[in-house]
Amino acid sequence: MLIATLGGCAEFEPAPEDLDAVLHYAWMHYDAGLDEELDQALENAYAAIEGDPDAEPIEGTISDLTREALDTVGMPGDIDPETPAGMLLVDTLPCTMDQIAAVLTADDLGALYPDEYAVLSRSYTRDAAAFRTGAEPVSEWTTEFQDELLGKAYIRTHQGGGRWVPGVFDRDAIVQRSWLPEPAEWPDSSTYHWDQDYQLDLYIDAGDGHLTHLLALWRSVGSESLSSDAEFMQTMILRSKKGWDERTAELCTDGTL
């Protein structure tokens, strides 16, 4: 596939080798970073996890986002970047890059992931069809979700987008970034909250029809008695994310995509 590229005359900033640091670097360089910078970041991230298609999923934590990181997505200045809990998940999927591009820009995510969430609406401000083919390096979207958490219904609207990164190990990769610009609405509860949510996904072509998925997530969600700092909540959140990976693997292998 021929991927359109983003470039410019900015000075190259080398990517760090530490996994935690390079994920923060990828977040900060998503918009304005050179293709070569993100290329190096993804190769360093892959090296840090010693990418192996047969390895078991990796779960962990990641350090807090910074005020500068929140500024890149226009969050108000009074939002505390240290409130969300940082989580990490690394997995391998039996998918091609074309298939994951199709998933990321699917119009009806609820139909593809009926056990994960219901999607009320999705709109694009950058050409999704051209992004799927690689003709456009970037796509942007807004997605409204409706679901339940711990038995309480909520509605949340996410901003997000994806960017192709050509040349990672002489192949291609995609970086996806999304965030919650406003707190979720809870029609039936005043004690639950979902105030902040920032997600970074690196999809790296591992060859032989597989890709490595690195997920970094910073989330503030819970109730008066339970927060995302709690081990129980983090286990539940990462279990849901692993469920998304498992369903995506099914979609890639059962002929749906």
Give tens-digit pLDDT for 174-229: 999 999 999 999 998 889 999 999 999 999 999 899 999 999 999 999 999 999 99
Q: Residues with Cβ < 8 Å from 27, sequence gap 6 or more?
A: 65, 69, 72, 177, 198, 200, 216
What are the structural domains, with CATH classification, of the chain?
19-253 (3.30.530.20)
pLDDT at 11 over 90: no
Taking a C-beta distance cutoff of 8 angstroms, is the pair 23, 45 a contact?
yes
Identify which of 131, 151, 147 has the alpha carbon closest to the alpha carbon of residue 139: 131
The 3-state DSSP class for residue 5 equals coil
Taking a C-beta distance cutoff of 8 angstroms, is the pair 98, 212 a contact?
no
pLDDT at 40 over 80: yes
pTM for this predicted structure? 0.94
Give residue 183's identity as a one-letter amino acid code: P
Give residue 223's identity as a one-letter amino acid code: S
DSSP 227: B
Distance (Å, rounded) from C-alpha 185 to C-alpha 10? 41
Q: Hey, how many other C-beta atoms are within 10 angstroms of the C-beta on 199?
A: 19
DSSP 211: E
The mean predicted confidence, pLDDT, of the chain is 93
pLDDT tens digit sequence for 45-83: 999 998 776 778 899 999 999 999 999 999 999 999 999
Considering only the C-alpha atoms of the chain, give the largest distance between any 2 of them, rounded to a whole number of Å: 52
User: What is the per-residue pLDDT for 231?
Assistant: 95
The residue assigned the tokens 């200045």 is 77
User: What is the per-residue pLDDT for 118?
Assistant: 82
DSSP strand pairing (193-207 vs 85-93): unpaired
- Chain centre distance of CA 171: 20
Distance (Å, rounded) from C-alpha 128 to C-alpha 101? 9
